[in-house]
Chains A and B, each alone.
Chain A
Amino acid sequence: MLRILAVAAFYVSGATAQDAIPDSLTGAKGDPARGRAIVANRQVGLCLLCHSGPIPEERFQGDLAPDLAGAGNRWTEAQLRQRIVDSRKLNPLTIMPSYYRTEGHARVAPAFRGKPLLDAEQIEDIVAYLGTLK
C-alpha cells in the first residue's frame, strides 16, 4: 500500500518536471547512423529484445514494448533522452531499463558493476537516431 501511495504521490507531483532532459549528455549532437547500429545490436542496445522498430534486417524483434517507428513524432529529443536515461523516473514500474543509471541496482555481475548500460555518447547517438523516426 505504501508503494502505491508513493507511486500516486509521484505521479501527482513529479511527472512533468521529470519528463525531459533538455541538454545533451556530451554537449554535442549524436550520430544517427551509429545510433541505429546500437539499437539494432541485441548485445549492446538490447532495444529489439523488447521493441520492434523499422530495422527490417533484424529478425525476431520483441513485442513487449511500443514500436519505435514514429518515436520522433511522439517525443522531442529532450523527452527521448529522458526515456533512455531513466524511464523509471516517468513510470517506476516500467520494464524499460534505465540506461544511464548506476545506483540502486542489486547483485550486478562483476563485469557490469558500477557501469551504466550505455555511455553518454551512445545515448546521444540513439537520441539522434530516434529523432529521425518520423
Chain B
Amino acid sequence: MVSKSLVSITDCTKEEYLRILNLAKEFEANPHQNILNGKIVATLFFEPSTRTRLSFESAVLRLGGRIIGFSEASSSSSSKGETFSDTIRTVSNYCDLLIIRHPLEGTARLASELTSLPVINAGDGSNQHPTQTLLDMYSIQKTQGRLDNLTLTLVGDLKYGRTVHSLIMAMATFKPVFYFVSPEELKLPDDYRVFLKQNNIEYHETTQLPHAMKVADIVYMTRVQRERFLDPMEYEKTKNAYILKAEMLSDTKPNMKVLHPLPRINEISTDVDSTDKAYYFQQALNGVYTRQAIISHVLGLK
C-alpha cells in the first residue's frame, strides 16, 4: 500500500470507500492497536473545531501514535504572518502525517502538493470534509446492513451544507433514492441536481417533512442557521417546520435511524434522544473508528 492523501471525497473510488469502511469495522472490534507506535501525527487546526480535533486525536492515541499541533491559528506562526505554504513545508519536517483544518477552501489540496507526507483534510472552508462523509457512510452501513438501494432523506440546510453535498456525491455510487427536505431559501444547488440527473438517480424535493420521514431508511438532519436567511421573519416562520420531534417517529420504518453531523442546536428535539431511532451519538463514536481506518489507510499500515 503506497501512502496517499485524503483531500476530497470525489478522489475516492467505490473500492476505496468499501476498503475504509471494512477497516473501520475492524477497528470497532479491536480499537486499541499499536500500529502508529513511533509515529508523530500533526493536527494543524487553523480554525477551532474541538469535536473534529478530539475525534482525530482519540483515533491517533488509540493507535499508539503521538500528536503535535495547534488548535487555532492564533497559536500558530500564521498569526505572525507566515504563509500557509511555509507552515506546511516546515511542519512536514516534524511528523509522519498531516491532519489539516482551515477556514479557506483548497488548503488541504495545496498542502498535499507541498509535502511528500500524506495529508488528511479535516475540513477546508465550505468545500470538503471527507472524514465526516466516510463516518456517515459507516453509520449508514452499520445500521442498515448495506449501502445499496437505500432511501435517504436529507433535511435542513441543503444549500450550504457541506456534509450533505459530500454525502450525496459519495452515496450516488450505491443507487439510492433521495428525498431533499428544505425551505425554498435553502434548496439544493443546481450543480447537484444536474449531477443526479446525469447519473439517473431518483430524487424528490419537498418543503414538507412528514412523507419523506415515512419512506426513509435514513433521516439525515442538519442545522438551519439563522444567518443564512436574508429576512429574519422568514427564518422565524420556517425554522419550526424542520424540527424533528419524538411524536413524528411513530409512522416511520422500523429500520429507520436519525443521523446528524453535530453539533445539534434545536433541530432535533431532546425527546428523540431516548428513542431507538436516535443514532447521532453512536455516529460520533463511529467517527473515531472511521478516522482510525483512514489514518492507517493513508499511511499504508493496513
Query: Do chains A and B stick together as partners?
Result: no
